Amino acid sequence: MCAAEPEQHTTGDTMYERIILATDGSKNAQKATESAIGLVKELKCASVTIIHVMQAVTPEEEIAKAVFDVCGRIDENVRPAIQTTIDRVEQEGISYRLEISLGDPASEIVAHAKKEGAGLIVIGSRGLNGVKGALLGSVGQKVMQLAHCPVMIVT
Ligand SMILES: Nc1ncnc2c1ncn2[C@@H]1O[C@H](COP(=O)(O)OP(=O)(O)OP(=O)(O)O)[C@@H](O)[C@H]1O
Ligand SMILES: [Mg+2]
């Protein structure tokens, strides 16, 4: 909840109190980061959860996920890909949480948004596989289909 400061525009119980910013470390995700930063500053009360989803490539990884908290351990491996996002959010002095998940990116992003009661998901229109001509990547499409809250797609 926001502290009441009469001289400031506060958003009260704004639906945008928490924003989910999904990043794969791509150029478009970086644009999404800038948009999310703009929103957070404009709405003042919002904070950000930066989420990066690692895709399991082997059954062993799925098993590991079930048995151990691998997310804490693989953090250092994924950090380079999302470091720019983290740096920008930190530069702006915005409070954030970092969430590293394992699984299907869209499902994880949406499930996490739901868990946190997020009011908005911000993603890029394309990601690391961006092919010229296609408007929207598959993760973006699936997030739009599954999301319980508004989705902002940044081009
Ligand atoms: N693994 C991921 N973790 C977190 N966010 C992701 C992940 N993958 C994609 N995103 C988010 O979704 C946006 C769109 O990426 P998407 O993967 O849909 O496009 P693409 O890589 O160009 O195409 P595709 O993966 O369908 O071949 C990215 O800019 C990013 O915000
Ligand atoms: Mg992709």
Give pLDDT tens digits for 4-13: 444 333 445 5
Mean pLDDT of 33-57: 88
More confident residue, 149 or 70: 149
2 in a structural domain: no
55 in a structural domain: yes
Q: Is 105 in the pocket of ligand 1 (CB under 6 A)?
A: yes
Q: Is the pLDDT of residue 142 over 90?
A: yes
What is the CA(128)–ligand 1 centre distance, in A? 6
Q: Give yes or no for a contact between 120 and 17, defined as CB atoms under 8 angstroms apart.
A: no
Range of the domain at 76: 26-126+134-154
Say how far apart CA 142 and CA 105 lie, in whole Å: 9
pLDDT at 59 (0 to 100):
75
Q: Is 95 in the pocket of ligand 1 (CB under 6 A)?
A: no
Q: Is 29 in the pocket of ligand 1 (CB under 6 A)?
A: yes
Total tally of structural domains belonging to the chain? 1
15 in a structural domain: no
Structure confidence at residue 96 as a pLDDT band (50, 70, 90): very high
Q: Give yes or no for a contact between 52 and 102, defined as CB atoms under 8 angstroms apart.
A: no
109 in a structural domain: yes
Q: Say which CATH number the domain at 146 has.
A: 3.40.50.620
pTM for the structure as a whole: 0.86
